[in-house]
Structure 1
Amino acid sequence: MNVETGSRLEDVPPGAPFEPAPPVPTWTATIGTGIARPVRRLFHRHTAFLDKFAFVLVALLVVVAIVGVFFQPYNPFDVDTRTALLPPSAAHLFGTDDVGRDVLSRILAGAALTLLSAAAIVLLSALIGVVVASVAAVLPRWADETIMRACDIFMSIPSLVLALGLAAALGPSLTSIIVAMVMASWPSTARLTRGILRETMTASFVESARILGVSRFRLMLRHVLPNSLDAIYVQASMEISGTIVMISGLAFLGVGAPPPSPDWGSMIAQGQQYITTAWWISLFPGLAITIGAIAFGLVGDAVRTFVDPASRRF
């Protein structure tokens, strides 16, 4: 049937040229044209701006952590009850806590403590996970399955519960948090890495190397593992955000570095009883945790998009 006239094809005179009906415009056909095009451009610019903003914010946090080690407006450990519970002012930008310590100074001193602890936990977890996954990949099938089932058993326990139990058993200290969180995190890293290695081992260049007689250990070190590191980088960059939150959560629950350590989670716990009268004691450390988690989360997403362009939405 002719779309424009409504006549049937058999009504067309013999010998007349056939003119197909114009395509009916659909929503999917208009993507990238008309109003959708500036929306797409705006989204791309907005995404690029978020990526740049995230990297700048992380760089500022690192600078603050480095500077905070050597410079604070006041000594973060000095106790002066005469200046206790002072609200934010020109003298104390973030106010003082219940024993007169400057909140800003303690946040600056705790920045390096929190960020370095998060980086150490992610690095150690990734290192142990990659080693375990690589060893499992070159061992016989039964050993590989045994190691992965052990990882599944660890992963069946919530990470926070496992880390809390281990940290409580080891005693309240920063070292206890690091050890507990590494023990709770490496099984998931090993499980993910083993899946990536298994996928890489099916690639054609790996099969070619195996046919040429390359040993399993050399095949893993020279071909499989180097071509699987991108996904491991992405996983590590995205875990820093959650690690910062978990470190602060464990410190809030009382299994972190003992007082007077300027840990952000401990500062929130110390100020919770003054939340209605001296809100600044808990608010500003909470904002520091939030900013750090969001910044590293955005950076992890940007790294994932850079490594895997197929993950882009548009």
Structure 2
Amino acid sequence: MTPAATAERAGSPAGTRNRGGRRRTRRRTPLVERAALAVAVLMVVIAVAGPLLAPHDPYAVDLSKALLPPSADHWFGTDANGRDVLSRVLSGAQVTLPATVIVIVVATLVGTLIGTVAALGGKVVDEALMRVTDIGLSLPSIILALGLAAALGAGLRSAVIALAATWWPGYARLVRTLVRDVKDAEYVDAARTLGVSRTRLVFRHILPNALNTLYVQTTLDVAAVMLVISGLSFVGVGAQVPSAEWGAMIAGAANNLTNGWWAVAFPGLAIMLTAISFNLVGDWLRVRNDPTIRQGAGR
């Protein structure tokens, strides 16, 4: 399904209907897009250099400074163990975002392989692979990941493995659709007529053109995967205390919400800003990648 069709089915705010019933695209202002891109880039920079930017040791315990409110010495306050929340949020980006990227990369590779083989492997292969994919799509990924992570043993590694094992079916279905659309294109038929080998046809002509939409979906999935990873840590099957992973930080501070709200609010704010920024960047890429949306936006 194309991004435009996905947006239309989901009722995306990117499109509204005019008086004649025709879909009219309403684009966000460049300021919003640039701000979202800036926040996304900032989060990536923090994920790379977070510990270097941290003003304090994120794991240093000092009970004499427990639950200090935000101040000039501790901008985000301290948690119940006296650890600087700002330092832990900065260091936590180096835990949460890389785990998210690993899940998406593994799921994308597996889904691309299965989707491509299904689209090009004939009816029997297609039916077999798509039935397995449908089973994966029919099960709620977060519930399945929760069960797998619990079976593998609590920890961030288990959460990443479990989530990657449950996230690929969506990519497989998307890639199959894209490859099937491209393989019947005129330029592919022309290349086939000229005697281009099957391997070259797949890797030079079909996949590069079929997967233009895939990077948009991966950008949109950053927020979803990150939220699930943080959620698994929050319920105790992901990253464990005293890890600075954002979900684990919220779980560790939940008991002190009334007298130490900052220890919950700032990790939650980091999750929210990262999720919103990557969603907006993905939506911006979707608009740029789909000519029908671009044409509608110019009307």
Bigger mean CA offset, 155-164 vs 68-77: 68-77
Paired residues of 1:138 and 1:217 also in contact (CA < 8 A)? no
Matched, 1:207 2:189: yes
TM-score of the aligned structures, taking structure 2 as reference length: 0.87
Identify which of 73, 83, 98 aligns with 2:55. Answer: 73
Q: Which residue of the partner structure matches residue 222 of structure 1?
A: 204
Paired residues of 1:118 and 1:244 also in contact (CA < 8 A)? yes
Matched, 1:168 2:150: yes
Q: Which residue of the partner structure matches residue 237 of structure 1?
A: 219
How does 1:285-300 map onto structure 2 within 5 Å?
Answer: 285-300=267-282
Q: Which residue of the partner structure matches residue 174 of structure 2?
A: 192
Instruction: Compute the displacement of 1:215 (Å).
Output: 4.5
Distance 1:81 1:110 in 2: 21
Q: Which amino acid aligns with 2:232?
A: L
Q: Which amino acid aligns with 1:142?
A: V
Identify which of 32, 54, 66 aligns with 1:50. Answer: 32
Paired residues of 2:241 and 2:252 also in contact (CA < 8 A)? no
Q: Which residue of the partner structure matches residue 309 of structure 1?
A: 291
- Partner secondary structure for residue 92 of structure 1: coil
Distance 2:240 2:160 in 1: 14
Instruction: Compute the displacement of 1:49 (Å).
Output: 1.6
TM-score of the aligned structures, taking structure 1 as reference length: 0.83
Q: Which residue of the partner structure matches residue 254 of structure 1?
A: 236
Identify which of 98, 110, 129 aligns with 1:147. Answer: 129
Paired residues of 1:138 and 1:220 also in contact (CA < 8 A)? no
Distance 1:143 1:131 in 2: 13
Q: Which residue of the partner structure matches residue 266 of structure 2?
A: 284
Q: Which residue of the partner structure matches residue 136 of structure 1?
A: 118
Could you tell me which runs of 5 or more consecutive residues in structure 1 were left unpaired when the two chains were aligned: 1-26, 30-39
Q: Which amino acid aligns with 2:282?
A: G
Q: Which residue of the partner structure matches residue 78 of structure 2?
A: 96
Q: Deviations over 1:87-128 (max 9, x none)?
A: 111111111111111111110110111111111211111111
Distance 2:200 2:46 in 1: 43
Distance 1:155 1:101 in 2: 41
Paired-residue identity, % = 45
Q: Which amino acid aligns with 1:222?
A: R
Distance 2:223 2:68 in 1: 32
Q: Deviations over 1:29-82 (max 9, x none)?
A: 9xxxxxxxxxx9xx75x5222111111111111222223122311111111111
Distance 1:28 1:293 in 2: 34
Matched, 1:61 2:43: yes
- Partner secondary structure for residue 44 of structure 2: helix
Q: Which residue of the partner structure matches residue 139 of structure 2?
A: 157
RMSD of equivalent CA atoms: 2.0
Q: Which amino acid aligns with 2:107?
A: S
Distance 1:149 1:213 in 2: 33
Q: Deviations over 1:227-284 (max 9, x none)?
A: 1121111111111111111111111111112221101001111111111121111111
Q: Which residue of the partner structure matches residue 182 of structure 1?
A: 164
Q: Which amino acid aligns with 2:72?
A: A
Structure with higher Rg: it is: 1
Paired residues of 2:178 and 2:211 also in contact (CA < 8 A)? no
Q: Which amino acid aligns with 2:94?
A: A
Instruction: Compute the displacement of 1:216 (Å).
Output: 3.8
Paired residues of 2:68 and 2:77 also in contact (CA < 8 A)? yes
Paired residues of 2:159 and 2:238 also in contact (CA < 8 A)? yes
- Partner secondary structure for residue 225 of structure 1: helix
Q: Pick 1 or 2: higher relative contact order, CA cutoff 8 A, min separation 6.
A: 2
Distance 1:257 1:146 in 2: 36
Q: Deviations over 1:149-197 (max 9, x none)?
A: 1000011000101111111111112211111111111111011110111
